[in-house]
Structures are given as structure tokens and as C-alpha cells.
């Protein structure tokens, strides 16, 4: 990456800073999380910091057991939540998550194009193939990852063609002749594929001549292949700089194989930031957040991801390569399973250590626990090594940690000219391509 290239930065609207025990803090405002003002406040702060976008991950199931100790992933519908933010902001991109596994593509194309109109061209689609929730949609089994990616590729192509099926230029609104639209430009797509059949056209014109950016999450070989063929960015789990560098180089190479430019795909890892005024306070914040960590649930998740049953192991025993069984066939996320295996192979950690690592407790995200200075230094290091094109901030520990990201960290990056100091474009794609 050239030194002048600016970072792309997104902010999570999933309140990651309330996870673990952080929601129990007196200043957490946990009662407000389902109100529209809650996310709006963060979106406005993010726009004031000139961020590329705010981002909502999503899932379509509820882990009832986890509700005993925290809010988990229950949330407002992301696209509806972002519609409420669209009217109250003017520049920031709005990245919503919709799975290609459960909902029909016509509905998805229409929802996204609707939000694109409402926001004046600021919508983006994070394409996921989902981890769970099949029984909420009449499927007794979760389709295999390969089948989900095949369907995702077909689905994304249909959505793109539906958006093109009623182009903005078809609208004439010619009062004198009485012609509202040139109907010859509005065409069915007549898609009849392996997984889906859709006639089209979409019943809503495209907003202007801009394109809706696509982001993808999932980094198995199938996920990388899909992302590099269509996506403008990938939301990734990269717990260390080597993982990020490898993924970025591989995606860029694959993009070229698909006839695109290497720079068409941007690596944006999740960045978990536990920030405070001193390192000591930040370390305490992290510790408090994970104090009441439910070890039994973590050990179950290690078992599901690796096939390794550590439930009776002493805390100080090291886990080594020799202990690892072959990767289980049925996996929720191959990306996360491979990253956990990789950690064990590289470091042979103790059970106690393993239970505090991002691969087990933090979706395998890049994690910084420290001061704003520490975070700036680490981000500069990753950027100058060519490991990232930007990041999606998933702050942890407390509301004040999230505020430090927006009020101090991002302005510092802007002062160093690693990030924009103002918007130059209007649409989400403008920001990404700036
Ligand atoms: C960083 C990251 C974020 C993800 N976010 C979501 C999400 O918000 N909702 C969801 O249903 N699936 C999410 N997924 C799951 C992926 O879409 C995918 O279904 C899963 O990782 C399996 O693909 P893989 O074999 O490529 O890992 C995420 C995956 C990764 C790696």
C-alpha cells in the first residue's frame, strides 16, 4: 500500500462495548439498546468523525441460554434500524447485513434499493451465508458451507441484475409528452438457476447511476473465492498481522484471477479496542469485562470448532499440535475453526491462556488493549506492513472505550493523514473509492 493511501474505517453499531460483563456497568445505558436513539447517537458521532460507514452485523436466531448473562446477538432488524439513521445523517455509509441463505433475493434487492433511495445512495450490503437459524426458515439441517456459497454467488448475481433491470435512466417523467418511463429499458431478468428462479424486473428504479457496494464475511477458500469475485471489501477475522497479510495478498491475487484489479477488494478486519487513559486501566477494563466468563460455554465452543474436548483438562496444561484431532466435518464457520487451530499450532497455549484469546472470546478479531497512543502505533504498523486497507471498529469494555475510538483515535489518524479529515463524495461507493 502506498503511504498516501487512506484507511477505510467503519464503526460497528452492534454494541460490542456492552458484551461480557460490560453491560452491567452503571454507565452502560443497557436499557436503551433497542431504542432508535441509541444507534443514532453512535451514527452521528461516527459521521462527525468522517467515518466511511456504520455497520450492523446480524443473525436470524436467538441463543436463549446465553441471555441469562448478557444481551448476546438479539437485535433490531439491521436494515430497518439503518433506515431510521438514514433520515438523520447525510454522508456516512450504511452497511447492513443480509444472509443469502434464508430470505428470497427479490425481497433483498428491493430492501437495499429502498434504503439506497432513502439515504441518497449510502447503502452497502454485507453478504453473509449465516451460521445458524435454519429451523426458523423450515430447514431441518443447515446447508453445507459449499452449498451456501454456491447459492450466495447465484443470489448476489440475481440481486445485481434486479438492480439493473429498472435503470435510473428509464425514468423520463416527461410532462409534455406524458411519458413517465421508457418501458423498453425495464427488462425481466428471467433467471432460472440451480438454487433460485426469479423473473424480475424489480418494482423500484435504481437510485442514480451509482453502484451499491458489496462486502462479504467468511474467509474459507470458498469464501475468499466468492469475496474476491464480487465484493468491494471483506469483513475479516485476523487476530494477528501475519493472518491479515496472508489474507489480503490472497484476496488481491484471486481478484486479479477474476479479471478485477487487486485494489478492487479491500481487507477490513474487525478491530476490537479496549481503550482507556492508561494501559493499566485498559487491562483492568478487559479483565472486568471477561471476569464472569462462562468457561463451560467457551470449552463447548472449542470442542465444536476443533473436536478437542478440554473440559477435564487442568488449566495450566498446554494444548499442542499432537492433541488436535482432524477438523470436524460439520462446522459453523471454517474461518473461525481454522484460526483457532492455527493459534494452537503456533503457540501451544495453556488451557487458561486459550480461554482469554480473541480466537475463543472475540470472534478471532484483531485486539488492542491499551491507550489511544498504543492503538495508533499498532494501526500504523499494520498499515505500513500492507496488512490492511482499513478496519471495522468493534470497541469493547465500556461506552467510554467506544467514545475514545471516535473522539480521539480517529482524529489522531486524520491528523497523521492516514484518514480523511472531511468527506469529498456523497455515496458509500464514493467514500470507498476516494
Ligand atoms: C468476520 C466474520 C463475520 C461474520 N458475520 C456474520 C454475521 O453478521 N451474520 C451471519 O449470519 N454470519 C456471519 N458470518 C458467517 C459467514 O457469513 C459464513 O457463513 C461462515 O463464516 C462460514 O463461512 P466460512 O466457511 O467461509 O467461514 C461471519 C463470518 C466472519 C468470518
Distance CA 160, CA 171 (A): 19
- Residue 250: what pLDDT? 98
Question: Which of 83, 194, 61 minimizes the C-alpha distance to 128?
Answer: 61
Question: Which of 411, 297, 282 minimizes the C-alpha distance to 17?
Answer: 282
- Residue 4: what pLDDT? 56
Distance CA 265, CA 248 (A): 9
**Binding site membership of 219 for ligand 1 (Cβ less than 6 Å):** yes
The fraction of the chain above a pLDDT of 90, given in percent, is 89
pLDDT digits (tens, 9 = 90+) for 57-115: 999 999 998 898 888 778 999 999 999 999 999 999 999 999 999 999 999 999 999 99
Number of domains into which the chain is organized:
2
**Binding site membership of 340 for ligand 1 (Cβ less than 6 Å):** no
Segments forming the whole domain that contains residue 175: 8-280+365-433
Contact 371, 276 (CB under 8 A): yes
Determine, yes or no, domain membership for 360.
no
pLDDT digits (tens, 9 = 90+) for 8-32: 999 999 999 999 999 999 999 999 9
148 and 248 both lie in a single domain:
yes
Determine, yes or no, domain membership for 273.
yes
60 and 177 both lie in a single domain:
yes
pLDDT range class, residue 138, cuts 50, 70, 90: very high
Determine, yes or no, domain membership for 308.
yes
pLDDT digits (tens, 9 = 90+) for 186-232: 999 999 999 999 999 999 999 999 999 999 998 999 999 999 999 99
- Residue 214: what pLDDT? 98
Query: Helix or strand or coil: residue 380?
Result: helix
Q: Which atom of ligand 1 is nearest to the CA of 148?
A: 19
**Binding site membership of 124 for ligand 1 (Cβ less than 6 Å):** no
Report the nearest-CA residue for atom 25 of ligand 1.
334
**Binding site membership of 235 for ligand 1 (Cβ less than 6 Å):** yes
CATH number at residue 385: 3.20.20.30
257 and 369 both lie in a single domain:
yes
pLDDT beyond 50 at 324: yes
The fraction of the chain above a pLDDT of 70, given in percent, is 99
Q: Which of 310, 331, 355 is the last residue of a domain?
A: 355
Q: Which of 355, 373, 404 is the last residue of a domain?
A: 355
Main-chain dihedrals φ then ψ at residue 429, nearest 5 degrees: -65, -40
Q: Which three cell numbers stand for residue 402?
A: 467506544
Determine, yes or no, domain membership for 142.
yes
Determine, yes or no, domain membership for 198.
yes
pLDDT digits (tens, 9 = 90+) for 153-173: 999 999 999 999 999 999 999
DSSP 29-60: -GGGTTSHHHHHHHHHHHHHTT-SEEE----S
pLDDT digits (tens, 9 = 90+) for 376-414: 999 999 999 999 999 999 999 999 999 999 999 999 999
- Residue 423: what pLDDT? 98
Report the nearest-CA residue for atom 23 of ligand 1.
218
Per-residue b/e over 102-134, b at no fewer than 16 CB within 10 Å?
eeebbebbbbbbebbebbbbbbbbbbbbbbebb
pLDDT digits (tens, 9 = 90+) for 347-385: 999 999 999 899 998 899 999 999 999 999 999 999 999
Question: In terms of DSSP bridges, do strands 197-198 and 191-192 run parallel, antiparallel, or are they unpaired?
Answer: antiparallel
pLDDT beyond 60 at 1: no
Mutate to test the pocket of ligand 1, among 131, 226, 365 (most ligand atoms within 8 A of CB): 131
Distance CA 273, CA 365 (A): 10
Mean pLDDT score, 228-253: 97
Please tell me the distance between residue 364's alpha carbon and the centre of ligand 1 in angstroms.
Answer: 12
Question: Which of 20, 69, 98 minimizes the C-alpha distance to 358?
Answer: 20
- Residue 296: what pLDDT? 85
Report the nearest-CA residue for atom 22 of ligand 1.
333
Distance CA 291, CA 329 (A): 33
Q: Which atom of ligand 1 is nearest to the CA of 236?
A: 1
Residue 185 CA: distances (Å) to CA of 29, 161, 170, 176, 404: 51, 13, 6, 20, 50
Amino acid at each position: 500500500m502506498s503511504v498516501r493511501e487512506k484507511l477505510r474505517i467503519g464503526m460497528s453499531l452492534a454494541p460490542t462495548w456492552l458484551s461480557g460483563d460490560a453491560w452491567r456497568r452503571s454507565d452502560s445505558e443497557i436499557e436503551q439498546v433497542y431504542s432508535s436513539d441509541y444507534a443514532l447517537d453512535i451514527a452521528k458521532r461516527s459521521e462527525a468523525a468522517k467515518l466511511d460507514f456504520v455497520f450492523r452485523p446480524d443473525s436470524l436466531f436467538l441463543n436463549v441460554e446465553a441471555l441469562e448473562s448478557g444481551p448476546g446477538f438479539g437485535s433490531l432488524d439491521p436494515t430497518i434500524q439503518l433506515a431510521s439513521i438514514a433520515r438523520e445523517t447525510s454522508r456516512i455509509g450504511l452497511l447492513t447485513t443480509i444472509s443469502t441463505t434464508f430470505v428470497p433475493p427479490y425481497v433483498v434487492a428491493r430492501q437495499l434499493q429502498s434504503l439506497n433511495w432513502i439515504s441518497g445512495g449510502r447503502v452497502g450490503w454485507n453478504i453473509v451465508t449465516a451460521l445458524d437459524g435454519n429451523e426458523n426458515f423450515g430447514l431441518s439441517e443447515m446447508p453445507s458451507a459449499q452449498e451456501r456459497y454456491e447459492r450466495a454467488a447465484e443470489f448476489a448475481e440475481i440481486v445485481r441484475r434486479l438492480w439493473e433491470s429498472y435503470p435510473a435512466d428509464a425514468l423520463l417523467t416527461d410532462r409534455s409528452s406524458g411519458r413517465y418511463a421508457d418501458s423498453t429499458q425495464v427488462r425481466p431478468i428471467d433467471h432460472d438457476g440451480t438454487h433460485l428462479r426469479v423473473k424480475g424486473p424489480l418494482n423500484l428504479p435504481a437510485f442514480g447511476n451509482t453502484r451499491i457496494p458489496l462486502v462479504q464475511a467468511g474467509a474459507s477458500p470458498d469464501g475468499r473465492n466468492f469475496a474476491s469475485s464480487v465484493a468491494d471489501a471483506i469483513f475479516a477475522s485476523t487476530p494477528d498481522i501475519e493472518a491479515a497479510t496472508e489474507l489480503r495478498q490472497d484476496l488481491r491475487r484471486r481478484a486479479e484471477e477474476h479479471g478485477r484489479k487487486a485494489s478492487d477488494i479491500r481487507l477490513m478486519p474487525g478491530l476490537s479496542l479496549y481503550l482507556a487513559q492508561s494501559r493499566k486501566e485498559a487491562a483492568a477494563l478487559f479483565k472486568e469485562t471477561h471476569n464472569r466468563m462462562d468457561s463451560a460455554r467457551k470449552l463447548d465452543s472449542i470442542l465444536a470448532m476443533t473436536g478437542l474436548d478440554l473440559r477435564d483438562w487442568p488449566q495450566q496444561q498446554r494444548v499442542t499440535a499432537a492433541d488436535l484431532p482432524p477438523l470436524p466435518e460439520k462446522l459453523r464457520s471454517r474461518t473461525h475453526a481454522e484460526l483457532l487451530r492455527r493459534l494452537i499450532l503456533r503457540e501451544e497455549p495453556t488451557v487458561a491462556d486459550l480461554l482469554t484469546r480473541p480466537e475463543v472470546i472475540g470472534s478471532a478479531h484483531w485486539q488492542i488493549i491499551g491507550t489511544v497512543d498504543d492503538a495508533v502505533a499498532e494501526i500504523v504498523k499494520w498499515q505500513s506492513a500492507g496488512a490492511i486497507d482499513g478496519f471495522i471498529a468493534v470497541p469493547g469494555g465500556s461506552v467510554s472505550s467506544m467514545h475514545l475510538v471516535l473522539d480521539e483515535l480517529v482524529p489522531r489518524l486524520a491528523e497523521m493523514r492516514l484518514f480523511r479529515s472531511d468527506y469529498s463524495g456523497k455515496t458509500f461507493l464514493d467514500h470507498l473509492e476516494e
